[in-house]
Amino acid sequence: MSRCAVRIGSIALVLLALIAVVQSPARADDRLVLRLDGNPIVLTHVRTQGSARAVAADDPGVQALLDRIGATLTWQPGQRYVLFTTAEPVVVSFSIGDARYDVGPVSEAAPFAPFLWDGHPYVPLDEFIHALDFAVKPDGSQLVLQPQLASLDVQASGEGAKLVAHAGMPIDARIVSQSPTKLVVAFDDVGSMLPPSRAVAGGPVQRIDVHTTGTVTHPQTQVTLFLVPGTTHSAPGTDDQRDFTLGFNGVSGTQTVAQSAPEPVESATPAPPDQPVMPASSPSALVQVTDVQTQPQNGSVLVRVSVNGDATYDWHRLRPPDNRWWLDVHNARLAIPPQDEPGADPVTAVRVHQVNPDTVRIALSLSDFDSVDVVPNATGLTITVNSTIADETSVPHSGSGTVGSAAVAQTSGVPENWKFAPRPAITQYVAPNPRLIVIDPGHGGSDPGSEHGGIVEKVVALQISKRLHDILVARGWQVMMTRTDDRDVYQPNDSAHDELQTRDDIANSSGARLFVSVHLNAFINAGPNGATVYYYKPGDLALAAAVDKRIASEVNVKNDGLVKEKLYVIHHANMPATLIEAAYDSNPDDRALLQDPQWQEQMAKAIADGIEDYAGTAPPASVGTGQ
Amino acid sequence: MIAALASWYFTTHGRSPIGDHITVYYTKVDGTTEVPWTVSMRPQLSGESVAEHLRNTVLYAATQAVAGPPGGVSAIRFPQGTHLLSAGVNDSTATVDLSQEVKNQSSGVLGESGAFKSLVWTLTALPGITQVAVRVQGQTLDTLPGGHLELDEPLRRSDW
């Protein structure tokens, strides 16, 4: 081949490549520019589908739009669902191959089903935009993405009410005119997808009219509220920096109006078991069976029964060929709806019901004379049905036991819920130094913990811990603190794991009798308050319960009780351990307590009393190892 | 041959035990009470195996649980912006990969634990799922930064 021919061939190849580069985007997808607040949102993966448009959910322009409005996308290749979560939050769900899509609880029909093209999931553009509470409006040659006023809810509250206005973006509004019977609120730069007028039944607001004026780029939506004469209103506000709120007749614009949980879509759905799932506070009260879960596992069937306190049980089985088996939990109420469901082989049916006012029965129909094991634990019991056929002559036909704290003392085997955990031998723990108590003041150094209203968790946790130290030392205990000043126990800016494990290592290597971690609780709003005592391991429960009881009786603070949580620092302490959240630094009343030295002393003394209720008084000095 | 055909038929034509609704839980601000609500579920597609339907359902249910109930409902919620990146199922374990916003915990044990509790209760309500492994941006964490709850092992209902 001549050099000339090679050159011509090369030029032809380059030209072909250029044509391909120029043509391929046009063949693949259209480009669409939408303007939001004057800024372009460039969609590069748009396809025409009949008379409608589809956009790739993973288009960078879509991601820019989602970022702008605080929404997110959940989608992975090979996945059926394309899910958007708005900042409200509402989940907008599309499904590949299904024209139906859901916006929260509302199902809608799109003109075409979402589809995959070149590995991208395409969803109907107009429906997607609408679901985000926006509208696409032409403005000359441009397309404008206009946030829409999407809801105006009037939430009744006694004689008053609260108006909540929601749009596709955070909105602000101003009151432009008012009279005894009419209030006009203007929303700038917001259009509306609401009906022009609607009546409101009952309450101070009787009717709402909505009217949009202005331009495509600067619309203004005026909302006129027709009021019962004499109605008063609050200053405009916002609950969450997004929605506009206004209160009437004494209801604050930012006050939470009690709302029920979302109504079940299906009328047959059982009512919510709206009871706290925590140990019963009074031994004489009925405990609750809070959950019964049936799950097949490796050829067996596990029936997990959750009980929120101490209770006795007995079980019985009939003789073949009648393969019924049942277990009664005494002094108990069923806190969930009764169950009557088919099981999985070898269990043919599971029935759970209140057999009499203080007994809950879990009845199993078995496919054969299958072997059944019952293992109680601190939070209930597990029934394991194996498909191996039991020997009728040698197996018992009844049995009994206890669940809850007593089960811990009685169960020498491995509690079933430790199957997946590196399990410290709690029930066998014998303290090398029974005089020694380890106190762990939470956080410290580079980790301040929570901070609210001038209170820093690491500071107050240390103050209470030092008081606890002094009380215990005065009572003859040896006490080791994981920190005695404001510092990281492992090293500054370490990971939470390293920090917490170091504290556990100190306790574990010391051979202490028990471990007490002192913290403050916090929440994102000022609502929750009180003291909470946490435990996790079965061996923690008695210590935590004793401390909680003393806090409840001796300390001027709301008692939020005992709560089981898988908290790292108490899980990995070999000895009985508890973590005390003394009060909420996010609550103003609790903050006042936390800053009061007398209250801190009260709390420290209650913890010390609880420790001694659990462990007895300090052993003589000859028992200790001189820590 | 027959066994292979039967296996293929079951995986592509088997009926999923998941109905047309699933139960999603949220945790009340008391930190302990789980409140269920139902969301509608799309039926199993023809050609979608039982396992695929379960995996898709886990993703859908977890997204709903992480989003939480509508804004007006007082509930413990994940930090703003937290969303699901992916989900999978291995035997009885559902694995959820959460976005990094979950690390922006500004609350104490109450908020941290309540959010995960609702997620675990939601997913373990699905047939065959007994525990939930949590990842953050694809990584397994021992705890969240500055956090308290242990996340290095799958979480089960019995952890609460």
- ipTM of the complex in this document: 0.88
DSSP secondary structure code for residue A319 in this structure: P
CB-based contact A405:A311 (threshold 8 Å)? no
Q: What would the two tokens of residue A263 be?
A: 């109504």
pLDDT at A282: 36
pLDDT at A253: 62
Question: How many whole angstroms separate alpha carbon A526 and alpha carbon B73?
Answer: 16
Percent of chain A beyond pLDDT 90?
41
Tell whether the model's pLDDT for residue A4 goes beyond 80.
no
Q: Which residue of A has its CA nearest to B113?
A: A565
Higher pLDDT pick, B11 / A551: A551
Least confident stretch, A328-342, A380-394, A578-592, B108-122: A380-394
The separation between CA A547 and the C-alpha centre of its own chain, rounded to angstroms, equals 27
Question: How many whole angstroms separate alpha carbon A279 and alpha carbon A310?
Answer: 8
Q: How far is A351 from chain B (nearest CA, A)?
A: 17
CB-based contact A370:A346 (threshold 8 Å)? yes
The separation between CA B147 and the C-alpha centre of its own chain, rounded to angstroms, equals 20
Q: How far is A51 from chain B (nearest CA, A)?
A: 26
CB-based contact A42:B52 (threshold 8 Å)? no
CATH code linked to domain A433-621: 3.40.630.40
Burial classification of residue A100, based on how many CB atoms lie within 10 Å of its CB (0-12 exposed, 13-18 middle, 19 or more buried):
middle
The domain locations on chain A are 30-132, 151-248, 287-418, 433-621
In this chain, the answer to whether the domains covering A151-248 and A287-418 adopt an identical fold is yes
Question: How many whole angstroms separate alpha carbon A623 and alpha carbon B13?
Answer: 70
Contact A98 B42 (CB under 8 A): yes
| pLDDT band at A6; cut points 50, 70, 90 | very low
pTM: 0.69
Tell whether the model's pLDDT for residue A322 goes beyond 60.
yes
Contact B42 A79 (CB under 8 A): no
User: HEC string of A542-589?
Assistant: HHHHHHHHHHHHHCCCCEEEEEECCEHHHHCCCCCEEEEEEEECCCHH
CATH architecture assignment, domain A151-248: Sandwich (2.60)
Cα separations in angstroms, B46 against A491, B12, B32, B61: 56, 7, 40, 21
Q: Which residue of A has its CA nearest to B62?
A: A74
Strands of A370-377's sheet, edge to edge? A332-334, A287-297, A300-307, A380-389, A370-377
Pick the closest to residue A415 from A433, A403, A397, A431 (CA basis): A403
| pLDDT band at A141; cut points 50, 70, 90 | confident
Pick the closest to residue A150 from A218, A239, A90, A217 (CA basis): A90
Question: How many whole angstroms separate alpha carbon A166 and alpha carbon A521?
Answer: 32
Higher pLDDT pick, A118 / A423: A118
pLDDT at A1: 42
Percent of chain A beyond pLDDT 70?
83
pLDDT at B7: 60
pLDDT at A268: 28
Mean pLDDT, chain B, rounded, equals 86
Of B31, B83, B152, nearest to A563 by CB-CB distance is B31
Least confident stretch, A575-579, B43-47, B93-97: B43-47
How crowded is residue A316: how many other Cβ atoms within 10 Å of its Cβ?
A: 14
Mean pLDDT, chain A, rounded, equals 82
CATH architecture assignment, domain A30-132: 2-Layer Sandwich (3.30)
Tell whether the model's pLDDT for residue A317 goes beyond 60.
yes
pLDDT at A26: 38
pLDDT at A574: 93
Tell whether the model's pLDDT for residue B96 goes beyond 70.
yes
How crowded is residue A321: how many other Cβ atoms within 10 Å of its Cβ?
A: 7
Q: Is the dihedral of CA A183, A186, A190, A196 positive or negative?
A: positive
Cα separations in angstroms, A603 against A485, A533, A541, B47: 20, 12, 19, 62
Higher pLDDT pick, B96 / A228: B96
Question: Average pLDDT, stretch A71-77?
Answer: 91
**Per-residue model confidence as pLDDT tens digits over A414-447:** 333 322 233 344 446 888 899 999 999 999 999 8
The residues pairing with A362 across neighbouring beta strands, listed in sequence order, are: A327, A352
Contact B73 A420 (CB under 8 A): no
Contact B142 A496 (CB under 8 A): yes
Question: Average pLDDT, stretch A553-561?
Answer: 93
For the domain made up of A287-418, the CATH class stated in words is mainly beta
pLDDT at A67: 92
pLDDT at A239: 62
CB-based contact A554:A547 (threshold 8 Å)? no
Tell whether the model's pLDDT for residue B122 goes beyond 90.
yes
Pick the closest to residue B146 from A497, A439, A531, A504 (CA basis): A497
**Per-residue model confidence as pLDDT tens digits over A230-268:** 888 887 777 666 778 888 887 766 555 444 444 322 222
| pLDDT band at A477; cut points 50, 70, 90 | very high
Of B70, B81, B160, nearest to A565 by CB-CB distance is B160
Those residues whose C-beta lies under 8 Å from the C-beta of residue B36, and which sit 6 or more positions away, are A269, A270, A272, A273, B23, B24, B25, B125
**Per-residue model confidence as pLDDT tens digits over A398-412:** 777 788 876 643 332
| pLDDT band at B94; cut points 50, 70, 90 | very high
Q: How far is A247 from chain B (nearest CA, A)?
A: 15
Cα separations in angstroms, A308 against A129, A333, B100: 47, 10, 34
pLDDT at A13: 47
The residue of A88, A529, A566 whose CB has the most chain B CBs within 10 angstroms, and thus the best one to mutate to test that interface, is A566
